[in-house]
Amino acid sequence: MATCSETNSDTEDQDKEYVGFATLPNQVHRKSVKKGFDFTLMVAGESGLGKSTLVNSLFLTDLYKDRKLLNAEERIMQTVEITKHTVDIEEKGVKLKLTIVDTPGFGDAVNNHECWKPVADYIDQQFEQYFRDESGLNRKNIQDNRVHCCLYFISPFGHGLRPLDVEFMKALHEKVNIVPVLAKADTLTPTEVKRKKIKIREEIEQYGIKIYQFPDCDSDEDEDFKKQDYELKESIPFAVIGSNTVVEAKGKRVRGRLYPWGIVEVENSAHCDFVKLRNMLVRSHMQDLKDVTRECHYENYRAHCIQSMTRMVVKERNRKYDLSRNLLFMFLLYNILVFGVQIII
């Protein structure tokens, strides 16, 4: 040992050193891959707008192998039913449990009065189940069936939104992230698409419909990202064309639709917004859709539930019922809501 000098560590020295908690995001990343992901997507809109085809195109799976199509007669009196398809898909080691919630029959009847109700009820039921589960004793392995996003299909033939579209979106916009899409856009010229989008955006504004809002860009994002973000916001409603058919265009095999006058390429951004929609839904905003569902829609549902319980008790009290009846009522309500009926007095 030649020379040893002892000094107090100064701030400059400390700044140079590295503790290592910068690895925290990587620890989270690693854990999330191990655990796997889930996502629940709802599709809604009248029959024949290509909902199933679009979903299959988006996730490159065949989710509707066993689908039975109803004829016109069967559909006249049909009530809206909710169906659920789940697939486990994997990509680059990342596992996703994808659930598609479909609403066959929506808007198909002659009288579509309140036909959004079964859909709203379904969403509420998932929230209720989750509220029960997360208030229960054992919270391991809770199955989370909350709906993270609803793709709402708007007909390309309507002059803007139809009354049913407005009614549906207004009934559901506080329960789920609504992403409107302009279906079967290959029936519209680029000018028509542009005009229709502007009209629909104006109507959404006018009717006070709160569709899913893309989170604002941070000021520190680069210009490219900001431009992409702006373009995304201007694309609403996404004009989409679905196809599960591969055709050959200019020597390349692409998914598309073969017409006598040309080939519509699904993934060509000059033809439609399919790629933009997929990028948003899957590659950039999927986690945000889940977070907004959890932090906003579910929290609203939960707060509403607790407040109703409280209100009911207060109301009962004001009626000057005897104390024990009030308490019994409140307590049973709480047990039914939260624990199921585990505790029986």
Residues 242-271 that bind its own copies (CB under 8 A): 244-251, 253, 255, 258, 262-263
- By CB under 8 A, the count of residues binding its own copies is 88
Asked whether 58 and 153 are in contact (CB, 8 A), the reply is: no
| Closest by CA position to 266, among listed 287, 247, 289 | 247
Q: DSSP characters for 37-87?
A: EEEEEEEES-TTS-HHHHHHHHHTS-TTTT--PPPHHHHHTPPP--EEEEE
Our finding on whether 159 is near its own copies (CB under 8 A) is no
Angle at 14 between CA 12 and CA 16, to 5 degrees: 75
Binding string, residues 204-243; x marks residues near its own copies by CB under 8 A: --------------x-------------------------
From 7-15, 158-166, 171-179, 204-212, give the range in contact with its own copies by CB under 8 A: 7-15
Is 170 or 294 the residue whose CB approaches its own copies more closely? Answer: 294
Q: Side by side, which strands form the sheet with 94-102?
A: 83-91, 94-102, 37-44, 149-154, 178-182, 238-239
Residues 93-112 that bind its own copies (CB under 8 A): 93-94, 96
Our finding on whether 284 is near its own copies (CB under 8 A) is yes
Q: Which of 87, 227, 331, 336 binds its own copies (CB under 8 A)?
A: 331
| Shortest Å distance, C-beta 126 to its own copies | 19
Both tokens of 163, joined, read: 């009354």
What's the chain's Rg over C-alpha atoms?
A: 26
Our finding on whether 87 is near its own copies (CB under 8 A) is no
Is 17 or 66 the residue whose CB approaches its own copies more closely? Answer: 17
What SS3 class is residue 94? strand
Binding string, residues 287-326; x marks residues near its own copies by CB under 8 A: xx--x---x---x---x--xx--x--x---x----xxx-x
Name the DSSP letter for residue 230: H
